[in-house]
Amino acid sequence: MNLSIAHLGPSGNHSEQAALFYVNWLTKTTREQAILCPYPSIAQSIRAVAEGKVQLAVVPAENSIEGSVTMTMDAMWQLDNLQIRLALVMPIVHVLISCATDLGNIKIVYSHPQALAQCQGWLERFLPNVQLMATNSTTEALERLETDLSAAAISSERAAQLYNLPTLASGINDRPENFTRFWVVSQNKISQNKVSQNKNLEEQSLISQSDASHTSLAFSVAANVPGALAKTLQVFAHLGINLSRIESRPTKRSLGEYLFFIDIEANFKEPLLQSALTELLTYTEVLKIFGSYNVLSTDVI
């Protein structure tokens, strides 16, 4: 049976590209076949995994310019039984797609607001007088380009190929160091990944791949306990465990109450990390472990 993989649609966007990279890698390494299932939102892609409608989802976790993808964080926290299988780091390259024969004929440029923002310098230099128009995705406006020769869209090279449209300029993002990190998410093999005080941490080790380099987790702390955050961070600092990322999200219950998402440069099975997590349990309200996984750069695929 083919693996089914959810991602944010429509075809041609960066989430689909990341999912395709993953499928190619999977086919090469395990000979497994997969089909892609586009969903209208990131939350729905992740929910499809939690509900067993698909086996995997490939979702953006953070971008080097824009930061965390909050929809992904919120869905990972709200849904149970999810684990991260792999992280994919993909370079983001924006191209200008248009049927205009010359840049001088372009009067309007469509794209997602993030893409427009990331190409602002290029646009000011080469298309200073055009109108910029925000769309819901980088591919939404592509259909109208064939009939409107004064229009252009900022999208990906793959989208240009898919829609059979010409690329007028490539690599137009202002910062060449533009990467997005995606997560490949599956159901957790064990029925519950909320770790409670009474649950043996050993059970959690099932979700760790033995050679995996990173571990992700999230936790809430009891509300209005002074020093609660400092205490949890001290656990890691005290044991010399490096956090590669810490991100706070609101609990949505009350202003000033947060969840914390942490990425750790260590395998869940390492004794030091096990010690830290056991200690962490005494300071946290809910602790969710998303497993240990490797990071794959899509440059090498």
To a copy of itself, the closest distance from the beta carbon of 202 in angstroms equals: 26
Distance CA(281)–CA(286), nearest Å, equals 8
To a copy of itself, the closest distance from the beta carbon of 265 in angstroms equals: 8
Contact 27, 20 (CB under 8 A): no
To a copy of itself, the closest distance from the beta carbon of 172 in angstroms equals: 17
Q: Does 66 bind a copy of itself (CB under 8 A)?
A: yes
Which of 30, 129, 200, 253 lies at the binding interface for a copy of itself (CB under 8 A)?
253
Q: Does 300 bind a copy of itself (CB under 8 A)?
A: no
Q: Does 237 bind a copy of itself (CB under 8 A)?
A: yes
- Contacts to a copy of itself from residues 163-192, by CB under 8 A: 175, 177, 179, 181
Contact 84, 193 (CB under 8 A): no
Tell me the site size for a copy of itself, rule CB under 8 A: 44
Q: Does 233 bind a copy of itself (CB under 8 A)?
A: yes
Q: Does 299 bind a copy of itself (CB under 8 A)?
A: no
- Contacts to a copy of itself from residues 13-52, by CB under 8 A: none
Which of 129, 191, 210, 254 lies at the binding interface for a copy of itself (CB under 8 A)?
254
Map residue 184 onto helix, strand or coil: strand
CA distances to 106, 113, 203, 278 from 198, rounded to whole Å, are: 64, 46, 12, 11
Side chain identity at residue 157, one-letter code: E
C-alpha torsion angle, residues 17, 22, 26, 28 (rounded to 10) = 60
Q: Does 199 bind a copy of itself (CB under 8 A)?
A: no
Please write down the long-range contacts of 46-50, taking CB distance under 8 Å and 24 or more positions apart.
Answer: 46/6, 46/72, 46/75, 46/76, 46/79, 46/82, 46/185, 47/75, 47/79, 48/6, 49/6, 49/82, 49/185, 49/186, 49/187, 50/79, 50/80, 50/81, 50/82, 50/187
To a copy of itself, the closest distance from the beta carbon of 102 in angstroms equals: 30
Which of 70, 105, 131, 192 lies at the binding interface for a copy of itself (CB under 8 A)?
70
Q: Which DSSP letter does residue 242 get?
A: P
4 burial via Cβ count (<10 Å: 0-12, 13-18, 19+): middle
- Contacts to a copy of itself from residues 257-276, by CB under 8 A: 258, 260, 265
Q: Does 234 bind a copy of itself (CB under 8 A)?
A: yes
How many other CB atoms are there within 10 angstroms of residue 240's CB atom?
A: 8
Q: For residues 103 and 117, which CB has a smaller minimum distance to a copy of itself in the complex? A: 117
**Residues 6 or more apart whose Cβ sits within 8 Å of residue 1:** none
Map residue 286 onto helix, strand or coil: strand
Which of 30, 129, 191, 240 lies at the binding interface for a copy of itself (CB under 8 A)?
240
Distance CA(234)–CA(240), nearest Å, equals 10
To a copy of itself, the closest distance from the beta carbon of 34 in angstroms equals: 26
Q: For residues 222 and 246, which CB has a smaller minimum distance to a copy of itself in the complex? A: 246
Q: Quote the distance between the C-alpha of residue 211 and its chain's center.
A: 22
To a copy of itself, the closest distance from the beta carbon of 204 in angstroms equals: 23
Q: Does 122 bind a copy of itself (CB under 8 A)?
A: no
Q: Does 63 bind a copy of itself (CB under 8 A)?
A: yes
- Residues in contact with a copy of itself by the rule CB under 8 A: 62-68, 70, 89, 134, 136, 175, 177, 179, 181, 226-227, 229-231, 233-234, 236-238, 240-250, 252-256, 258, 260, 265
